[in-house]
Structure 1
């Protein structure tokens, strides 16, 4: 069996890879409003409201309204808690960002491929990430979400390379498996300790 050809482009996930979250400010909001720690996160990730939010079926504001309606506190306080919880938008991961910059400096294209809502582009601008990638592939805009094979096909089309020439990085094992099934090389991000391997996968200069 011939060796797999080296990837010529990179697709990278946002949350858990290029953006990291400090749980402290989010938990502080929950405590202040008498909610259990992680109550807001767990409610927001309920599949019946999370899926339409990232599939382009409802807006971020509508999604947060549904989250608010499910909290076991006074509706006005619930809406206030959700608004304060959303004030914190995370921060760029310095290791992932350094790798993205290295890849682009070597002449490789980098695409952000993420499940997101219509708040994605304002978030990228606020975080200073909008110009750090060549293309943004948003599930909300494409009406396709990871790990659907159609999402990966569209992402490869937008970055301009066939799946066999694209390396995909995500922090979710299920999504990584989906990318591999779609024909991409895929790697689960757990930090910078394997960046040397990723450099080789992209055939970057030493």
Structure 2
């Protein structure tokens, strides 16, 4: 039996629609005498990262926890400067999203995020580029929990079997498939034609 074609797209933010240049972040670390990538590694420590994206603490509270773990006196200042760079839209992912919406399909941003997400979308001029935003901080459950995908499909108004999910994290992609969605790992624009076919759009 042929698989149902996807009618809507859910797409991840970091690593897909938003990309990060490591240079400005490393420059801050070097300036404050920290090892390159130490701020990122500290912020991603699971015991403080998970509550930040699960809606249990604010972004500001998360960053204070990061600062508390740094081996320097002016840690809060370093973290604040590190946070000023907010990444940039990936032009290939953005072009894909625009083409999907132009063809009449809904697009949802489906991301693990903090309460800073809406401000970031505004700053990067991305707020109006999607139909709905599904933020783990707002719905209080994060990918790859089944409940996250269930809520995401409700918010975009389609059954899981009619939703294509795109993420750069294999574990999350597997979670989406387990929840009944079609899911594909993003590694760049080379597979856009395949994704368009999955949405039953012309190549």
TM-score, structure 1 normalization: 0.98
Counterpart residue number, 1:151: 148
Of 113, 124, 129, the match for 1:132 = 129
- Cα distance in structure 2, aligned partners of 1:45 and 1:199: 33
Alignment of 1:114-193 (within 5 A): 114-193=111-190
Runs (4+) of structure 1 exceeding 4 A deviation are: none
Alignment of 1:1-206 (within 5 A): 2-74=1-73, 77-206=74-203
- Cα distance in structure 2, aligned partners of 1:99 and 1:145: 25
Unaligned runs of 5+ residues in structure 1 are: none
Question: Offset of 1:155 from its aligned partner?
Answer: 0.1
What CA deviation, in whole Å up to 9, does each residue of 1:4-38 have, x standing for no partner? 11100000000000000000000000000000000
What CA deviation, in whole Å up to 9, does each residue of 1:73-112 have, x standing for no partner? 11xx100000000000000000000000000000000000
- Cα distance in structure 2, aligned partners of 1:95 and 1:205: 17
- Cα distance in structure 1, aligned partners of 2:72 and 2:36: 14
Q: CA RMSD in A?
A: 0.5
- Cα distance in structure 2, aligned partners of 1:52 and 1:168: 24
Unaligned runs of 5+ residues in structure 2 are: none
- Cα distance in structure 1, aligned partners of 2:166 and 2:202: 20
Equivalent position SS for 1:131: helix
- Cα distance in structure 2, aligned partners of 1:62 and 1:199: 40
- Cα distance in structure 2, aligned partners of 1:46 and 1:3: 43
What CA deviation, in whole Å up to 9, does each residue of 1:120-177 have, x standing for no partner? 0000000000000000000000001000000000000000000000000000000000
TM-score, structure 2 normalization: 0.99
